[in-house]
Amino acid sequence: MLIHGLARNTGSMFFISRFLKQKNYWVVRVAYPSTDESIEYLAEQYLPPAIKECQKETKGQIHFVTHSLGGILVRQFFQDKSFPRIRRVVMLSPPNKGSEVSDFLKDSILYRWLNGPAGQQLSTESTSLPNQLKPIDLEVGVITGNSSYEPWFSLLSEGEDDGKVSVENARLDEMVDFLVVPNNHTFIMNDSGVMKQVDQFLRNGHFEKDTE
């Protein structure tokens, strides 16, 4: 299952969808109105139908590939649920500890209009939703970028970042593998190397590390 990010749509996951289909995965791109509702509502309303579709169409293991907010939806959904056939999730540029951009812009009328209720929930404060979620019982691999074409947002972060989320804030306590790549937040899922790493993790439960 492919889950897009905030203020995006299923089209943003087209290239990685095509790649995974070529690798013989059965793929569903989850459509959800990311800017209309809270994270809790989006997770409860839009993930169950996609899971049921996957359970109907395939008898094998079920995995998630998420971009940005999509990873938080998966974490929210699996706070109190378990499905025996669902095993792995690869999160691309997830704001697992929130986003400094959200901290800076959340009170802006334009930001609130563009990103809706979910955008208001992505701060780095200890009380924010991402920072209140418990560990999930899935094998989690995280890939995040350290390249940005938005230097004005990068000034908000300490250390490396992808223009929206710092490398440190992409980390998750329960992740089993972590990879930093020279990509930006917006288009990380379109990178051929990232796609190959996604396939590697879904098949083997770990990323392929450079041994040179």
Is residue 115 domain-resident? yes
* Residue of 87, 101, 111 lying closest to 169 (CA atoms): 101
User: Which residues, at least 6 apart from 147, have a Cβ–Cβ distance to it below 8 Å?
Assistant: 162, 163, 182, 183, 184
**Rounded CA gap, 47 and 136, in Å?**
15
The count of C-alpha atoms lying within 13 angstroms of the C-alpha of 140, restricted to the half-sphere facing its C-beta, is 22
Residues of the chain short of pLDDT 70, as ranges, are: 149-157, 211-212
Could you list the residue range(s) of the whole structural domain that residue 147 is in? 2-204
Question: Which strand (E) or helix (H) includes residue 49?
Answer: helix 39-57
Is residue 46 domain-resident? yes
**Rounded CA gap, 195 and 206, in Å?**
14
Is residue 212 domain-resident? no
Residue 91's φ and ψ, nearest 5 degrees, are -100, 125
Q: Above pLDDT 90, what percent of the chain?
A: 82
SS3 188: helix
* Residue 36: CB atoms within 10 Å: 11
Is residue 24 domain-resident? yes
pLDDT at 210: 74
Is residue 209 domain-resident? no
Is residue 210 domain-resident? no
How many domains would you assign to the chain? Answer: 1
CATH number of the domain at 120, please: 3.40.50.1820
- For Cα atoms 85, 66, 186, give the angle at the middle one, nearest 5 degrees: 170
**Rounded CA gap, 137 and 82, in Å?**
8
Is residue 183 domain-resident? yes
**Rounded CA gap, 185 and 146, in Å?**
9
Q: 183-198 pLDDT, tens per residue? A: 999 999 999 999 999 9
**Rounded CA gap, 125 and 138, in Å?**
25
Is residue 139 domain-resident? yes
Residue in the structure block whose two tokens are 């309303």 = 45
